[in-house]
Amino acid sequence: MIIVTGAAGFIGSNLVKALNEQGETNIRIVEDFEDGRKMFNLADCRIRDYADRDETLRRMRAGEDVIGTARAVLHQGACSTTTEWNGRYMMETNFEFSQRLLGQCLAKGTPFIYASSASVYGAGQEFRVHPDCEHPINMYAFSKLAFDNYVRQYLPDPPSQVVGLRYFNVYGPREQHKGSMASVVWHFHQQLLQGDELRLFEGSDGYADGEQRRDFVYVDDIVKLNLWFLERPGISGIFNAGTGRSQTFNEVARAVIAWHGHGKIRYVPFPDELRGSYQSFTEADLTELRAAGYSAAFVDVEEGVRRYLDAL
């Protein structure tokens, strides 16, 4: 059995679907279904078993075994709301749960592949997997870095495989439930379904209007990366999961406009509440990933947006 946490979420549901396409249906999902609408992400997937997220944490706190004889754990579950400042909730969800699950995997020799985040780099200009580059600027990033640092005590030779993947700006199908945290591609698409105008932020941090740059990575590439590590249990470490090439929000907007065949861009004032906690530039350094042997190319924004909107 493979355990997938956060399985009804964006990346988790894409992983479950990809596993199904490989013929794997012996899957236990761990999920918080308080918002039951997330089930639509799994409506076309096959699973074997289900466990509630809060009940799973309670059982781990009581010292119970929650992974059994699982072949691997793909840990995608987290609170990914970058504007959430309830630190106690964030650390329980993103740190304690992960820490306890990792402990069981290490004790049993079960591969553990988990979602980290490029948010740990904060407003820096270097995106190497190194403490010198890590400067979280919100509670979400802090919680993710705290767990990465906990994992580091076991690297480079943990008792069993441990892989952390620092996701950059992922976009693609099955993210519609994320609301304000969905990708700009999703939001731009919705804006053109409802009108003829895309709203982008005015310049910030020295960047011109809409010229802030992010490493936008299509979800299919993230899924391939997870499954590549799953097939190579001898490789452990923390790795960037991005394309290695930043592109502007203007480029994303133009790709969405090209697909729709209409639309114009309007720049809106940069929100005061995001000043000091917004990444105006990200670009994955893929040195460690390439050194580990991953050689596949990543699609660019133009191709990824086309695939995404075709799928929608």
| pLDDT tens for the chain, residues 1 to 312 | 999 999 999 999 999 999 999 999 999 999 999 999 999 999 999 999 999 999 999 999 999 999 999 999 999 999 998 889 999 999 999 999 999 999 999 999 999 999 999 999 998 899 999 999 999 999 999 999 999 999 999 999 999 999 999 999 999 999 999 988 899 999 999 999 999 999 999 999 999 999 999 999 999 999 999 999 999 999 999 999 999 999 999 999 999 999 999 999 999 999 988 887 788 999 999 999 999 999 999 999 999 999 999 999
Q: In the CATH hierarchy, which fold is given to the domain comprising 172-213+246-280+303-311?
A: UDP-galactose 4-epimerase; domain 1 (3.90.25)
Residue in 38, 114, 121, 140 annotated catalytic: 140
- Domain residue ranges in the chain: 2-170+218-244+285-299, 172-213+246-280+303-311
Residues 184-187: contacts with CB within 8 Å, 24+ apart? 184/249, 184/252, 185/216, 185/252, 185/256, 185/304, 185/305, 185/308, 185/309
- Cα–Cα distance measured from residue 117 to residue 38, given in angstroms and rounded to the nearest whole number: 22
Which of 178, 207, 267, 294 is labelled catalytic?
Answer: 178
Q: Is 264 a catalytic residue?
A: no
2-170+218-244+285-299 CATH choice from 3.40.605.10, 3.40.50.720, 1.20.120.450, 1.10.150.130: 3.40.50.720
Yes or no: say if 118 and 168 are a contact pair by the CB < 8 Å rule: yes
Beta bridge partners of 3: 28, 73
pTM of the model: 0.96
Is residue 108 annotated as part of the catalytic site, yes or no? Answer: no
